[in-house]
Amino acid sequence: MVTFEGMEQQRSSSGGASLSPRSPSSSQPFLSVSVTDPVKLGNGVQSYISYRVITKTNFQEYQAPEKIVIRRYSDFVWLRDRLFEKYKGIFIPPLPEKSAVEKFRFSAEFIEMRRQALDVFVNRIASHHELQQSEDLRTFLQAEEETMERLRSHEAGIFKKPSDLMQIFKDVQSKVSDVVLGKEKPVEESDAEYEKLKHYIFELENHLGEAQKHAYRLVKRHRELGQSLSDFGKAVKLLGASEGNALGKAFSELGVKSEILSIKLQKEAHQLLMSFEEPLKDYVRAVQSIKATIAERANAFRRQCELAETMKLKEINLDKLMLIRSDKVGEAEREFHELKAESEQATKTFETIVKLMNEEIGRFQEQKTLDMGIAFHEFAKGQARLANGIADAWRSLLPKLEACSSS
């Protein structure tokens, strides 16, 4: 079950967030990971950000109780791709997307958001009762840089770039088009609960996307208002300096207050970005991971049906050969039994995916309720704090401005 832990744990601004205790009791099994110290390396188009990944654990499978390695974004992609390939039915935690705009790739804010999201990603894996046992996770957390580079070069990866996470669904949509055009007969589950789940996930993605879009606008508005107050403050201070009397002093104080409020707004905009917009965006990515698992389930069901149909045809053919006592009976029997074993394995794979998905979606829904509650609570608390600060600042100026207006 993927662990979508509380946002307060995830959204640490220094040293990374952890979904397991940083200083746990040595008597309890623990695996704690921190993604820290982003550093820009290289020049031009070859430049990238590296991160220190610090692991603390008492798991016997690990080389030492503490290990520090250097990783880059493509290493995290390698880990995600490996887990997605091996753990069908489990919602693999999402990665943050790459910046499509070159000028933002190395901004301090983008780098910190990326670091934070990578920290959340790897700790979700480390806290998952099955994924934390992954050999690939141990490799990611312990291998030297040269080993990771060799592993990346030997594997093209499941997804060529983060946006290709949704390529599966484009393929599914293409199949749907083929069905509409009469090119292909649909092979889909006829399960009411499964249909409800798919409807819920697609609706959730739309609603989260809308909420995240408006959160982005709120952040932008705070920043613009902060910049406007800063510009206003400078202009009023210059006006106050030209007056040189009680009115000039009042104008100067008004300018100072405006600049102070500008800083408050900029800080609140950053806080809003980290504790509200980013969590919403993170859950949009999480839903995309769930959709990837849904697509895998659809593929598994289709494979199961195709093999079952082929097996029926093979069985009919085998019966015919046995009736005419053909010398090809032995070969046909071998092919039939091989196909039967493959069909049974496909059925088992599909049933495993269904079972795991049912477990995962229950956990996801519970944690989403908790995390969204925290995010919206932090949003409301921040807005109240900002409103009170602005009101107090303007209120403190009123006596002086009133004195100037009445004199």
pLDDT, tens digit only, all 407 positions of the chain: 333 444 434 444 434 333 334 445 557 888 999 999 999 998 877 889 999 999 999 999 998 999 999 999 999 999 999 999 999 999 999 999 876 555 567 788 889 999 999 999 999 999 999 999 999 999 999 999 999 999 988 775 444 444 454 555 555 455 544 544 444 555 788 888 999 999 999 999 999 999 999 999 999 999 999 999 999 999 999 988 887 778 888 889 899 999 999 999 999 999 999 999 999 999 999 999 999 999 999 999 999 999 999 999 989 988 888 888 888 888 989 999 999 999 999 999 999 999 999 999 998 998 899 989 999 999 999 999 999 999 998 998 888 788 777 76
**CA–CA gap between residue 350 and residue 391 (Å, rounded):** 60
pTM, full prediction: 0.78
Which amino acid is residue 245, in one-letter code? N
Cβ atoms within 10 Å of 98's Cβ, excluding its own: 12
Contact 54, 118 (CB under 8 A): no
Q: Which residue has the tokens 């592993």?
A: 151
Residue 326, pLDDT score: 84
**CA–CA gap between residue 226 and residue 263 (Å, rounded):** 7
**CA–CA gap between residue 394 and residue 182 (Å, rounded):** 69
Angle at 271 between CA 267 and CA 277, to 5 degrees: 135
Residue 116, pLDDT score: 92
**CA–CA gap between residue 239 and residue 181 (Å, rounded):** 72
Q: Helix count (H) and strand count (E) of the chain? A: 10, 3
Residue 171, pLDDT score: 55
What does the DSSP 8-state code read for residue 285? H
